[in-house]
């Protein structure tokens, strides 16, 4: 429903701004808006087509890991942390398995593949819920962990960057990793405060300290080398991690005597279906954004915010990427459209283009996740879920902004 109003709003505002410009003698505005609809629709299809191969690859690899038992091994390793973050769930409950698979898909940047797993996890959590229309603490913690968007491998962002002509599509890997780690850390702390979970126990405290040390260590390292060397390291480390994950999943499948080829093909089919399924959504949002920009409304908004920031003594260079950050809590497809639009307008390797990618990878879509996940099991009383999710989004946005200026400012 929120995205419906946003979509209508884009066209309504664009039409009003275009009428004003026409009244001022700009007769090119309406032809430009019509041309933008065709160009944006073509761009959306090209992007979706480019995503097909990558989604098929990673969903195939995940299917190998699932059948080979690697997912179960990782779930056992994480069980001490999971049982403390979700004290209301009995140890060994099936919901843990679905939650971990959901988080794994999110960590690989496969947010479209993560949704079905998240819905299964919510069904399991609803079985334990005594008040069927009221969100439990476990549901809210799960939602916030999703909205924090912990992304170890931002596959989708890197593919979009490659599609938009970035010289090194993976050079945002480390900045996104830092921003999403800080967002997740903030989300855990915020939700633990709401739910009065003791974060001083050894397991949780170790997790929080480890996350802080990880983010701090990378940020410190980034100050010790020049920017060109840092970008080279980011690209190299990202490629090593990606290939190591592929080898680990295949190796575990071979060890477990899984037919890795058949498992990969079965998983890859889901990737193709997902890529096709998102075409209408991407076309819808990119056409709306294209019309909004062609009418001059986007420039008016960006210039206004930039002037306000400049009057306050701030750096207005980041303004072009802010639409991505503002759209992110509302709609994943909307924020992807804003990210693509920023890279198309300013360049994939510009500061704005990179910042929009970091915004995209730092957090996830709070209202979409809340509506889909809670709606699927009939939850009406969301308690503190919205507050915790939005506070996490704010922390992730601030972290993304700070990291972008550290690496590219």
- Per-residue pLDDT tens digits for 139-188: 999 888 888 877 777 777 877 888 788 887 777 888 888 888 889 889 98
- Please tell me the pTM assigned to this model: 0.70
Angle at 51 between CA 50 and CA 55, to 5 degrees: 140
Residue 260: strand, helix, or coil: helix
Query: How far from chain centre, in Å, is Cα 256?
Result: 32
> What pLDDT, on the 0 to 100 scale, is given for residue 109?
61
Residue 130: strand, helix, or coil: coil
pLDDT (tens digit per residue) in 384-398: 888 888 899 889 989
Least confident range of 238-242, 337-341, 372-376: 238-242
With bands split at pLDDT 50, 70 and 90, how would you rate the model's confidence at 215?
A: confident
CA-based nearest residue to 171, from 180, 179, 184, 161: 161
CA distance 126 to 133: 9
Joined tokens for residue 22: 């026409």
> What pLDDT, on the 0 to 100 scale, is given for residue 191?
92
Judge whether residue 274 has pLDDT over 70: no
> What pLDDT, on the 0 to 100 scale, is given for residue 297?
79
CA distance 64 to 56: 12
Residue-level length of the chain: 409
How large a percentage of the chain has pLDDT more than 90? 5
Mean pLDDT of the chain: 80
Number of H helices, E strands in the chain: 19, 0
**Which of 39-43, 73-77, 396-400 tops mean pLDDT?**
396-400
349-367 core/surface letters (b: 16 or more CB in 10 A; e: else): bbbbbbbbbbbbbbbbbbb
CA distance 105 to 371: 19
pLDDT (tens digit per residue) in 80-137: 777 888 888 877 676 777 787 777 767 766 555 566 677 777 888 888 888 888 889 9
The residue with tokens 């919510």 is: 122
Cβ pair 146, 138 in contact under 8 A: no
Joined tokens for residue 70: 């690697």
Which residues have a Cβ under 8 Å from the Cβ of 144 and sit 6 or more positions away?
187, 188, 190, 191, 385, 388, 389, 392
Least confident range of 71-75, 119-123, 404-408: 71-75
Joined tokens for residue 222: 């980034």
């Amino acid at each position: 429903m929120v995205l419906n109003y946003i979509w209508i709003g884009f066209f309504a505002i664009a039409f009003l701004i275009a009428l004003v410009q026409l009244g001022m003698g700009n007769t090119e505005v309406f032809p430009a808006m019509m041309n933008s609809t065709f160009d944006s629709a073509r761009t959306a299809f090209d992007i979706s087509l480019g995503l097909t191969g990558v989604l098929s690859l990673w969903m195939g690899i995940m299917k190998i890991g699932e059948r080979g038992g690697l997912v179960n091994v990782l779930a056992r390793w994480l069980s001490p942390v999971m049982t403390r973050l979700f004290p209301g769930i009995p140890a060994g409950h099936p919901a843990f398995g679905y939650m971990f698979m959901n988080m794994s898909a999110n960590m690989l940047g496969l947010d479209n593949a993560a949704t079905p797993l998240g819905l299964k996890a919510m069904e399991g959590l609803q079985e334990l819920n005594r008040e069927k229309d009221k969100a439990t603490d476990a549901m809210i913690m799960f939602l916030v962990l999703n909205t924090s968007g912990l992304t170890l491998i931002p596959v989708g962002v890197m593919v979009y960057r490659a599609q938009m002509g970035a010289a090194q599509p993976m050079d945002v890997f480390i900045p996104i990793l830092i921003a999403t780690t800080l967002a997740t850390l903030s989300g855990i702390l915020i939700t633990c405060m709401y739910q009065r979970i003791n974060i001083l126990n050894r397991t949780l405290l170790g997790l929080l300290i480890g996350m802080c040390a990880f983010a701090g260590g990378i940020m410190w390292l980034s100050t010790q080398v020049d920017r060109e060397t840092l970008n080279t390291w980011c690209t190299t480390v990202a490629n090593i991690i990606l290939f190591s994950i592929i080898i680990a999943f295949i190796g575990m499948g071979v060890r477990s005597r899984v037919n890795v080829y058949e498992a990969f093909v079965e998983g890859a089919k889901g990737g193709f279906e997902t890529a096709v399924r998102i075409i209408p959504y991407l076309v819808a949002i990119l056409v709306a954004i294209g019309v909004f920009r062609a009418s001059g409304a986007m420039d008016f908004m960006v210039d206004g915010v930039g002037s306000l920031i400049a009057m306050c003594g701030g750096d207005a260079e980041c303004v072009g990427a802010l639409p991505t950050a503002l759209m992110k809590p509302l709609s994943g497809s909307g924020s992807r459209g804003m990210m693509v639009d920023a890279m198309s307008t300013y360049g994939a390797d510009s500061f704005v283009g990179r910042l929009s990618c970091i915004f995209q990878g730092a957090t996830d879509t709070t209202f979409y996740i809340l509506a889909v996940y809670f709606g699927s099991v009939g939850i009406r009383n969301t308690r503190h879920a919205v507050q915790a999710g939005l506070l996490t989004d704010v922390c992730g946005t601030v972290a993304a902004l700070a990291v972008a200026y550290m690496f590219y400012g």
